[in-house]
Structure 1
Amino acid sequence: MNGAISVVGIGADGWDGLPARSRRVLGSAEVLIGGPRQLDLLPAAECPGERIAWPSPLRPAVPGLFAAHEGRTIAVLASGDPTFYGIGRTLAETVGAERLNVLPHPSSVSYACARLGWALEAVETVSLVGRPLAGLSASLHDGRRLLVLSAGAETPAEVAGLLREKGFGGTRMRVLEQLGSDRERIVDGVDGVDGTADTWPHERVDPLNVIALDLVRSPEALRLGAVPGLPDEAYEHDGQLTKRYVRAATLAALAPAPGELLWDIGGGSGSIGVEWMRTDRSCRAVAVEKDPVRAARIARNAAALGVPALQVVTASAPDGLAALPTPDAVFIGGGLTAPGLLDACWGALPAGGRLVANTVTLESEALLARWYGEHGGELVRLAVAQAVPVGGFTGWRQAMPVTQWSVTKAGAGA
């Protein structure tokens, strides 16, 4: 491979755990790049190349770093499997996958499943390395097994605190330290008692650790399903909330797919953007809300429901839309009659993009009817009634009907 960069996975067992091919690559490299911990695992006599620790911030420095050593044989060290939450992805995106010669090592997740007797394909993995703790919340489901890639020595205690807060205090917790090395051990409870989030006694553990969770939800905790239509009480709101059944229908019309970006305009409490992002970890959303109090509330709801990466833009639409990245879908939940809003959203959508708009007013309904006449799609009315006490009997209480227009923009690729 002309100009190839070797990316070598290394475990906590260091040089002794490397296969012969990885040793040959590292021993012959003129330049060795990695984190200080990985570089320290290499014996100087076997690996005489120049050693360079990653600068910070890392990603912007990568192209210049490799350009400075063009023409020399370069080996990059990575923890475990470089393409599993590792440096491999960053290098592929910055210098090109075609330049990489990746030599993987077993990942910490593979080691953890081997030690616990868990089926790797049946376990979800969540990384907290460089990511907010709140992101773990979206993966909390009763009876599931999770492996959490820890950010450091205090992460297990922080995870235990989050589990207690979310009603998962009975969750079985184990921490696997220094996997693959001769210092490997499993940290559990004390005095032979199984560790749980409620009773977790360890404030700090070895910084190199993976957290194993057998999730148990308290019967009193609010149950949050894996599909759109979360209970209304899951949200902090001031009444500006797309209600549960309309929300489920709206997300079905928006049809999120992995990696897609949503504009949630007139965010209110942020429920559409939140549930769009909960459908897949790679989904992204931008909530546009002109009221700063509501904008702050959207951010709190996003963090509480496990999608803290939801971007909140405090601005009026359409003015606040100009600088946003191109969406795959747009939801308009408020401000439909603002001059130029529908035109701006329609213009921003690429061919194949979806637009969904909800309204309860006659004025906005007339606007949607006109756009429906011009662009097609589906125009539906959603009516929900709930059973409520009527004296000693039960009757129906009708909510305001919601008119919904949904359309896919035609054109090449649609």
Structure 2
Amino acid sequence: MPADPITVVGIGPDGWAGLTSPAQAALLQAEVLLGSPRQLALTPSSLDAVRVPWPSPLSEALPRLLEEHHGRRICVLASGDPTFHGIGTTLVRLLGAVHVIPHPSSVSLACARLGWPQDQVQVVSAVTNPVDRLHPHLQPDRRILVLSRTAQTPAEVAQLLVARGYGKSAFTVLEQLDGPAERVRTTTASDWSHEVDPLNVIAIHCPPDAPVLSTVPGLPDDAYEHDGQLTKREVRAVSLSRLAPVPGQLLWDIGGGAGSIAIEWSRHHHTNRAIAIERDPTRADRLERNATALGAAVTVVQGAAPAALEGLEVPDAIFIGGGATAPGLFDACWNALRPGGRLVANGVTLETEALIIQWYKTYGGDLVRLDVQRASPIGTMTGWRPAMPVTIWSVVK
């Protein structure tokens, strides 16, 4: 770590004039000033510090830059609040401690302009994530702020909203917030057609009568593109309740099929991730399309388990929905699972059920059989048609 702690200074489009006295003092004392060309241009040319613009890709170059200027007083410029989707968080992860002088974030400024209660607004970053990650947050009467990556982001978001049936959403783009060129424009998502500044934030107020696609496990089966290889809605809800999604955790979905388990695990919280293993290339492609359409952070590995599990990130939970009879599969999963992790295996065939019962006798856990019947026409009347029963085994390591 440098002899003097690195100072991270949040700066807005208003530049030097908008900085607090401590922020200005930190910049005046700096020997090295790191930031984007736009941020560096906001500071007075009279500063004595050596100006170093961020290289690309930044994540790979950052440790080298810090080592190169080791022992000198370093100031890092950040947009708005450095620890809110900013470089401050990255530096804390690398160094363990930095001195942060925040500026109002784009979110706080946008809420101030709109009169929105900040604690009731969902923030989605399109800076480091694809725009489709917005999908799980689209709910009736919800207020959402999207942090844009480029000048094209508002058009991409508007198109997504229209495609999801949210075209009537109030759609506001706020550009250059708190700067001399600040501009705020509101239309509906379906009417948006403006060119904007690259420095922008998008505010969405979803209509109260918009279509519902909940983040609670058990989406309708027709929410997925599938060929019949799909964990059905009721079984999916029960299986996910036993997998117990926790924010920030990783799931392995083995025998991914249409990807419903992996997708609904990831939709539970924006920090959840899943790796879906699917040996059939056609199904793997379909799984990726489903994950994109539903905004889920799912990585698809095309291959057969257990060989395809080699080298994957250690999981917090594992779902075995297919391929349970493959030699060595269970042992590979059990050995990979973190202590305290959850494993759930589903079976509909006698062969898979026999294995599951054997695992249950050896490792304990909880064993249930789920029978689901659906109302269906029988001539001019209605009766119950049973689906194949599913055996569900769940265990905590």
Shift, 1:97, TM fit? 2.7
Q: Does 1:200 align with 2:192?
A: yes
CA distance in 2, matches of 1:217, 1:390: 38
1:140-179 equivalences in 2 (<5 Å): 140-179=138-177
TM-score (norm 1): 0.94
Shift, 1:50, TM fit? 0.4
Shift, 1:375, TM fit? 0.7
Shift, 1:130, TM fit? 3.1
Shift, 1:281, TM fit? 0.7
Check whether the contact 2:8–2:100 (CA below 8 A) recurs between aligned residues: yes
Shift, 1:226, TM fit? 2.1
283, 288, 295: which one pairs with 1:299?
A: 288
Code of the residue aligned with 2:308 in structure 1: it is: G
Alignment match, 2:18: 17
Check whether the contact 2:136–2:295 (CA below 8 A) recurs between aligned residues: yes
Alignment match, 1:290: 279
Code of the residue aligned with 2:219 in structure 1: it is: L
Check whether the contact 1:167–1:217 (CA below 8 A) recurs between aligned residues: no
Shift, 1:353, TM fit? 1.1
Shift, 1:85, TM fit? 0.6
CA distance in 1, matches of 2:151, 2:323: 48
CA distance in 2, matches of 1:199, 1:60: 40
CA distance in 2, matches of 1:288, 1:316: 7
Alignment match, 2:36: 35
SS of corresponding position for 2:191 = coil
CA distance in 2, matches of 1:348, 1:153: 43
Check whether the contact 1:170–1:217 (CA below 8 A) recurs between aligned residues: no
CA distance in 1, matches of 2:240, 2:89: 31
Q: Name segments (4+ residues, structure 1) moved above 4 Å.
A: none
TM-score (norm 2): 0.98
Check whether the contact 1:170–1:218 (CA below 8 A) recurs between aligned residues: no
CA distance in 1, matches of 2:52, 2:282: 47
Check whether the contact 2:215–2:264 (CA below 8 A) recurs between aligned residues: no
Check whether the contact 2:3–2:72 (CA below 8 A) recurs between aligned residues: no
301, 305, 320: which one pairs with 1:313?
A: 301
Q: Does 1:359 align with 2:347?
A: yes
CA distance in 2, matches of 1:363, 1:159: 47
SS of corresponding position for 1:77 = strand
Q: How many residues align?
A: 396
Q: Does 1:211 align with 2:226?
A: no
CA distance in 2, matches of 1:43, 1:124: 36
Alignment match, 2:88: 88
Alignment match, 2:132: 134
Which stretches in structure 2 are left out of the alignment for 5+ residues? none
Alignment match, 1:398: 386
CA distance in 2, matches of 1:121, 1:218: 23
SS of corresponding position for 1:405 = strand
Considering only aligned residues, what root-mean-square deviation do their CA atoms show, in Å?
1.2
SS of corresponding position for 1:253 = helix
SS of corresponding position for 2:327 = coil
CA distance in 2, matches of 1:217, 1:267: 34
CA distance in 2, matches of 1:365, 1:70: 61
Q: Percent identity?
A: 58
